[in-house]
Chains A and B, each alone.
Chain A
Amino acid sequence: MTYTASYLAVAVFFLLGLALPVVALTAGRFLRPDKPSAEKSISYESGVDPTGDSWVQFNVRYYLFALLFVVFDVETVFLYPWAVVYDALRADMGLFVLGEMLFFVFFLVIGLAYAWKKKVLEWT
C-alpha cells in the first residue's frame, strides 16, 4: 500500500510540472504588451543575424574528436574504483596492484599513440 502511495508524490510532481509552464506562459500573454514587428519575430541567436538553415552539416572531425573522447573518457571508469580501493588492495598484494593498472594504462597509451600517429589529434 505504502509502495503505491509513493507514486502519489510522483503524480503531484507531474501535475505541478505541467501546470507551471502553462500558467507562466498564459499569465505572460495577458500581462505583456503585444506589438509584433518583422524585426522582433526573427529567431534569437545571441544578437547575430541568423543565416541559412538550422540543419547544417558539421565537420566530420567533430565526430572523430567525440569518438576519441568517449573511448578514453570511459576508461576512467576503471581508474576510479581502483583508486578508491588502492590502499586496501596494496596491503593485500603489494605493488602488484599498481603493476596491474600500469599494464592497463600501457594499452591505453598504445591507443593514444595510434590516434596521434594517424593525425586524429590535429585540426588541419
Chain B
Amino acid sequence: MQQIHLGAIDYAILIVYFGFVLGIGWFLRRYIKSSEDFFLSGRSIPTWIAGLAFLSANLGAQEVIGMGASGAKYGMMTSHFYWVGAIPAMVFVGIFMMPFYYGSRARSVPEYLKLRFDEKTRGFNAMTFAVMTVFSSGISMYALAKLLELVLGWNFHTSVVLSAVIVLAYIFLGGLTSAIYNEVLQFFLIVLGFLPLVLLGLKDLGGWSGLKEKLIPVATSAGYAPGAWSDSWRHLGSASANPMGVEWFGMVMGLGFVLSFGYWCTDFLVIQRAMAAKSMNAARRTPLIAAIPKMLFPALVIVPGMIAIALHNSRGGLLPLGADGLPNYNLAVPTLLAHYLPTGLLGLGLTALMASFMSGMAGNVTAFNTVWTYDIYQSYIKPGQSDKHYLRMGHFATVFGILLSVAAAYATTRFNNIMDMLQLVFAFVNAPLFATFLLGMFWRRSTGHGAFWGLLTGTAAAAAHHGLTLPHGAAAGLKGGFLGTVLHTYPSEMAQNFWTAIVAWTVCFLATILISLMTRPNKTDEDLKGLVYSLTPRQVDAELVWYRRPALLGVIVLGLTLVLNIIFW
C-alpha cells in the first residue's frame, strides 16, 4: 500500500498521548508499596474503571486489526464473536463465577485452581498460561511493528524496541494500576479515534443500507447469496452457504460456548481486572459493565472492515493484494484510515491503533508477571520470602516478560489472519480449561486428579483432533493433518478450530467426571467453602439499587444483545 506521511500535527498528538501514558505510570509509582499493590492494585479499583479495563485489556491486535480483517473477509458474521461469543460469557462470569474468584481471595486464576483442586493442576495452568501470555504479547508487538513498517515506513526493530520500552516503563513504575488506568485511557482513545472513520465511511457509502448494497456484489462474485456479507445468522444453515465455512452448531457451540466462555471465564488476563475491583459487588459488575460497550464494538472494529471490502470491490482495488492474489485483509483498517482521514485526525487514528496494540501487550505482561511471581516463583522456586522480595521479583518479571515478548515477536510466523492463529492456541489450551472450571465450581465431587488428568486429556484431544483434520485446500503441517492421516476435511480453518475446541471441551469434561469418580476427594467440605457453588452462601443483592444488582444487569445486557442479533439477523 501507499505509505502515509505524517505531519507535525500527527506527531504532536502521538507525543501528547505517550506523555500522558508515561505520566500516569510516573504518578502512580509512589503508591506501590506491597506486592498486592503491584499485582492486584491493592484491590481498590472503582467499578467503572475495572469494567473498562476488563474490556480493553483484550483490545489488542487481534481485536482492532483482526476483527477488521474478519469483517472484510467474512462480513457481518464476524459479529458472532461479540453477540454469541463474548457477551453471554461476560454475563456468566460476572454473575456465576466471580463470587468464587473474588470470594476465595485467590490472587490469580491458577491460585484458585490450587485452592479448589491441587498443586499440579495449578502448576499446569500457570505454566501454559505464562507461555501463552508471552506469545500473545509477542504477536501484538510483531503486528504493531510490521504495521508501522508497512504504513509509515518506520524501521521494524525501532518500533519493537520503542513499544517494548514504553510498556515496560509504565508497568514497571505503576504495576497493575498503571496498566489498568492506561487501558481505560486507551479505551476512550480507540472509541474517539475510530468513530470518525466509521462515520465518514458510512456517509460515503450512503449509510448502512448503502453499505449493504455495495456488499452484494462482494458476496455474489464469491458464489454466495447476496446478503452473505451483511447478515449474521441467515446463512448459517450449512457451512457451504457462508464465507466463514461454519454451520450454526459449530458456531454456537465452538465459538460461543467453548471458546468464548473459555476465554472470558478463565483467562487471568481479563479476570485480573475484576479481581482488582474494590468489593465483591464491584468485581461481579466489572464484566457486566464491560459488556455494554463491548456489544457496540462491532460498529467500531468490524464495520470498517466491511466498508474497506465494499470500497475495494466497487471502486477498484483499495486493498493491496497478497501473494495468493487475495486482498490483504489485515490491512483493511489501516488502509481505510489512510483513505478517509486527513493529517490531524489521521494522527489520532494511528495513535488509537498503537494504543490498542500496547494495551494488548501491557495486559499480557501484567498477567504474566503476576502468575510468574505468585504461581511459579513463590510456589516452586523460592517460597517463604518477604513481601518486599516478591515485589522486587514482580519488577524483575516485568522486565524479562517484555524481553521474552520481544523474542516471541521475532519468532512469530505469518498466518493470513492473526485471529485464526490465536484461536488455534486458545483451542488447545483454553477450551478444555472451561470444563475444568465449570466442574470445579459447580460439582463438589470433582477431585484434583480428575481436574489435572482431565485437562491433560482435553489438551491432548485438541492436538489430536487438529492433527487428524485439515481445512479445505490446506497442506498438512501447522494448519493440521500433522499426524499423518487426515480423517476429515473442514470447509475452513475457522470451522476446524471451532470443532477442535468442541472436542477438547467434551473430552476434558467427560474425563474429569470419570477420573473424579474413580479417585477419592482430596478436599473436605470445609476446604471447599467459598470455592464451590453448593458450599458457598448465596450473594444477596435484593436490597441494592437496581444498577448494582448483577443478575438484573445481566438480564438487561442479554436482552439488548438479543435485540442486536435480531436486527442484524
Decide whether A and B assemble into one complex. no
Chain B residues at the A interface, C-beta cutoff of 8 Å:
none
